[in-house]
Amino acid sequence: MALAAILSPIDTSEAWVYYYEKIEDTYSLALLQSSVSGGRDQEFKNRNTIGSRVKPPPSDLAVTSFLGLVRAFGIAQIPKAVKSTDPAIAVISQLSPVVNPIDKVSAANVQPGDYSAVAACGSTTNTGYVSLLKEIGGTVNLVNYTINKLSVTSKAVDVTVAAYSKLASIVVQGKPWVFFQNKAGQYLYYHNILAGETSKIPTTGMAETGTHLAVTFSPDNSILFLYYRNQTGIVARTWLHNGKWSPEEAAVEDAMDDDSAIALVAHEKNIHVYFWNDGQIVHDVNDLPDESQLSVSHVAGFHAEPAK
């Protein structure tokens, strides 16, 4: 079940948690304003997507901020101009604050076909990046869109991503990284879009096949966290600090629906973790590692390995 979250730019004591709400046979985008400081949650539904033919779950959701707005992305079904047996085409679209395909509907790269993975991140230079999976010539490719005030461009790259992989992305020192699961095994990798480099995270060998992924920085941007579901069925995490990835550790041991996404928001000294359990959104809180934990994890950690 789709889920995406971001710290509110209006009130930093709350997170905006996006999800799909089903009304009869139509899915629309809904928003939960979740307190990250012990306050009361507020729920607002129908974020301008009623009647926009949002592709039903398991379509993923992604949210980020660039060009002055918080933007949610997913897959929408756009009616075809020419009548056919399949009257709609699925395209990667901005779903909030307004519904709009990120490229011409006829553009090949904007059409994910049967794939549902979506990731998005934004940079301080007012550029946004939206990533998806698409089969091209019999090979599953990672497609990365770059969006700014002047243009929308896309590039497909074969990074040996698994067809079942989910995606997550974040801007690291000005460079967008996209995280995915490699088709050669359980390990998680990341692709630096601008540098064109792909790296393996050697501490993620216990990741569950097809796990949802989520990434965030600590509030001071010194630690990069990657969350995923491991083979024992719990939410685990690893972090990148001073050039090394930490050994895997348990992050959330509460029950989680098998198809649940994971969403993260960093606030003060905590990482707020959102996921689905029994059809309800659960809010858990993780502490940031202290200096002792960082020291131990650095000794036991590993550098990322270049993809082969």
3-class DSSP state for residue 261?
Answer: coil
Banded pLDDT at 31 (limits 50, 70, 90)? very high
3-class DSSP state for residue 164?
Answer: coil
Task: Report the chain's terminal Cα–Cα distance, integer Å.
Answer: 33
**Beta-bridge partner residues of 306:** 199
- The burial class, CB within 10 Å (0-12 / 13-18 / 19+), for 24 is exposed
What is the predicted pLDDT for the residue at 52? 58
DSSP 8-class letter at 182? B
pLDDT in tens, 67-91: 999 999 999 887 765 555 556 788 9
Q: Which domains does the chain have, with CATH numbers?
A: 4-306 (2.120.10.80)
Contact yes or no for 212/229 (Cβ under 8 A): yes
**Beta-bridge partner residues of 121:** 129
Q: Could you give the C-alpha distances from 162 to 93, 145, 236, in angstroms and in order?
A: 23, 19, 20
DSSP 8-class letter at 246? P
Tokens of residue 284, six digits: 């858990």
What is the predicted pLDDT for the residue at 27? 80
- The 10 Å Cβ neighbour count of residue 190 is 27
What is the predicted pLDDT for the residue at 85? 54
What is the predicted pLDDT for the residue at 51? 56
Tokens 């075809």 identify what position?
A: 80
What is the predicted pLDDT for the residue at 104? 93
Contacts of 139 (CB under 8 A, 6+ apart): 158
What is the predicted pLDDT for the residue at 86? 57
What is the predicted pLDDT for the residue at 8? 94
- The burial class, CB within 10 Å (0-12 / 13-18 / 19+), for 186 is middle
Tokens 């995270």 identify what position?
A: 201
Banded pLDDT at 58 (limits 50, 70, 90)? low
What is the predicted pLDDT for the residue at 144? 99
Average pLDDT (96-120) is 93
Please tell me the pTM assigned to this model.
Answer: 0.94
**Alpha-carbon gap, residue 19 to 82, rounded angstroms:** 31
Average pLDDT (200-212) is 97
Average pLDDT (213-225) is 97
Answer whether residue 262 shows pLDDT above 60.
yes
Contact yes or no for 289/239 (Cβ under 8 A): yes
**Alpha-carbon gap, residue 132 to 118, rounded angstroms:** 5
Answer whether residue 25 shows pLDDT above 80.
no
Answer whether residue 297 shows pLDDT above 70.
yes
What is the predicted pLDDT for the residue at 287? 96
Helices (H) and strands (E) in the chain, counts: 1, 25
